[in-house]
């Protein structure tokens, strides 16, 4: 089974770990991929952590990884901007270090949209605005983003997840922050994380594989499975993470398994 694949795009939360604890069999699964010549890529909608911060969590979970094997929605957002605005442009953002680092590495001047900047000149000159998950964001920070989005007629949302699963339920996710900006500015976001198939295509280009040589593994039908189906890669749904009621609008994965422990055992 693994012989047909060169690349495996692996979701993190609910797939390899859950609530900060490793999911049983995940380290052995990643080793199995490597042993069979399949490049594992840690493929996450979370734009908050830098790749090296993701590696720290993986290593704490017993999963061997390097930062160049981490592909985040923040990097996809920065890549999308390179196709729209010149290098060196000022980009306003809300988000954490993962997004700031991705924007800077792509050659932009990344400025955190703080409420105190509302009347500063650079806000009128920013060439783009990006919303990434940021638990410390304020009303006025989002006001800065909203004004830029309204002026430009577009803004970037690193992922549109409405909710963020937690041990005791959920918290509002990045899509909910984006909904505020969308409502107030009256403009639609460019969404760069899963389920946007361009995030998968960005990874294929970056790691040098075709859609037919790639498998995506994840627990969320609305992000992981949909992204895989849209991009035409083989899709494995794992039941170790968030559960959703059956929804006829979500395309079926190629395979459903309990957890990564069950994948590529033969």
Active site residue 246: no
Smallest separation, CB 44 to Mg ion (Å): 8
Smallest separation, CB 198 to Mg ion (Å): 19
Active site residue 134: no
Contact criterion met (CB below 8 Å) for 263 and 26:
no
Whose Cβ is closer to Mg ion: residue 12's or residue 148's?
Answer: 12
Smallest separation, CB 255 to Mg ion (Å): 17
Contact criterion met (CB below 8 Å) for 147 and 180:
no
Whose Cβ is closer to Mg ion: residue 214's or residue 240's?
Answer: 240
Provide the token pair at 243. 């559960």
Whose Cβ is closer to Mg ion: residue 96's or residue 194's?
Answer: 194
Smallest separation, CB 14 to Mg ion (Å): 4
> Which residue, among 190, 259, 257, 200, has the nearest Cα to 229 in the 3D structure?
200
Whose Cβ is closer to Mg ion: residue 81's or residue 227's?
Answer: 227
Catalytic residue among 11, 161, 196, 219: 11
Catalytic residue among 13, 134, 141, 196: 13
Compute the distance between CA of residue 217 and CA of residue 98 in angstroms, rounded to an integer.
22
Smallest separation, CB 207 to Mg ion (Å): 20
Query: Which single residue brings its beta carbon nearest to Mg ion?
Result: 14
Whose Cβ is closer to Mg ion: residue 134's or residue 219's?
Answer: 219
Smallest separation, CB 3 to Mg ion (Å): 27
SS (H, E, C) the chain: CHHHCCEEEECCECCCEECCEECCCHHHHHHHHHHCCCEEEEEECCCCCCHHHHHHHHHHCCCCCCHHHEEEHHHHHHHHHHCCCCCCCEEEEECCHHHHHHHHHCCCEEEECCHHHCCCHHHHHCCEEEECCCCCCCHHHHHHHHHHHHHHCCEEECCCCCEEEECCEEEECHHHHHHHHHHHHCCCEEECCCCCHHHHHHHHHHHCCCHHHEEEEECCHHHHHHHHHHHCCEEEEECCCCCCCCCCCCCCCCEEECCHHHCCCC
What is the contact surface with Mg ion in residues (CB under 5 A)? Answer: 11, 13-14, 219-220, 241
Instruction: Please identify every residue annotated as catalytic.
Output: 11, 13
């Amino acid at each position: 089974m693994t012989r047909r694949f060169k690349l495996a795009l692996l979701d993190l939360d609910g797939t390899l770990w859950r609530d900060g604890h490793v999911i049983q069999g995940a380290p052995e699964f990643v080793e199995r991929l490597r042993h069979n010549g399949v490049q594992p890529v840690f493929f996450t909608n979370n734009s908050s952590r830098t790749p090296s911060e993701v590696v720290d969590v993986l290593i704490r979970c017993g999963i061997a990884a390097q930062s160049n094997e981490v592909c985040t929605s923040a990097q996809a957002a920065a890549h999308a901007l390179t196709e729209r605005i010149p290098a060196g442009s000022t980009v306003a953002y809300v988000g954490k270090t993962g997004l700031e680092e991705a924007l800077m590495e792509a050659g932009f001047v990344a400025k955190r949209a703080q409420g105190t900047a509302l009347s500063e000149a650079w806000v009128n000159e920013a060439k783009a605005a990006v919303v990434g998950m940021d638990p410390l964001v304020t009303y006025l920070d989002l006001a800065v983003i909203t004004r830029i989005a309204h002026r430009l007629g577009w803004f970037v949302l690193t992922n549109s997840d409405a909710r963020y699963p937690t041990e005791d339920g959920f918290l509002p996710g990045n899509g909910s922050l984006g909904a505020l900006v969308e409502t107030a500015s009256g403009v639609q976001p460019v969404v760069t994380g899963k389920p946007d198939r361009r995030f998968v295509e960005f990874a294929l280009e970056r790691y040098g594989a075709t859609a037919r040589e790639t498998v995506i593994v994840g627990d969320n039908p609305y992000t992981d499975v949909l992204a895989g189906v849209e991009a035409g890669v083989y899709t494995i749904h794992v039941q170790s993470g968030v559960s959703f009621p059956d929804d006829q609008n979500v395309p079926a994965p190629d395979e459903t398994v309990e957890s990564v422990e069950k994948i590529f055992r033969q």
